[in-house]
Amino acid sequence: MTKNVGGIDRILRIVVGAALIVAYFLNSGGAYSWLYLLGLIPLVTGLLSTCPLYSILGMNTCPTDKR
């Protein structure tokens, strides 16, 4: 797995993912509260710095080492 998620993108994914998971625990009795668990996707992709969708689309927000 190559890293294709850069700094700001990575931080936003982790924050959004964690916020959705916290929202699930705060509102676990709601009818569609299970949708908050979709926050696992941005959280994991942010922590691993890789996104399968970016790989499929050929995108990369990770800065390259210019030497």
Angle at 51 between CA 45 and CA 54, to 5 degrees: 150
Mean pLDDT of 21-48: 93
Domain ranges of the chain: 7-57
Q: What is the tens place of the pLDDT at every residue in 36-55?
A: 999 999 999 999 999 999 99
**What is the distance between the alpha carbons of residues 9 and 6, in angstroms, rounded to a whole number?**
5
**pLDDT > 60? residue 6:** yes
Residue with tokens 């700001």: 8
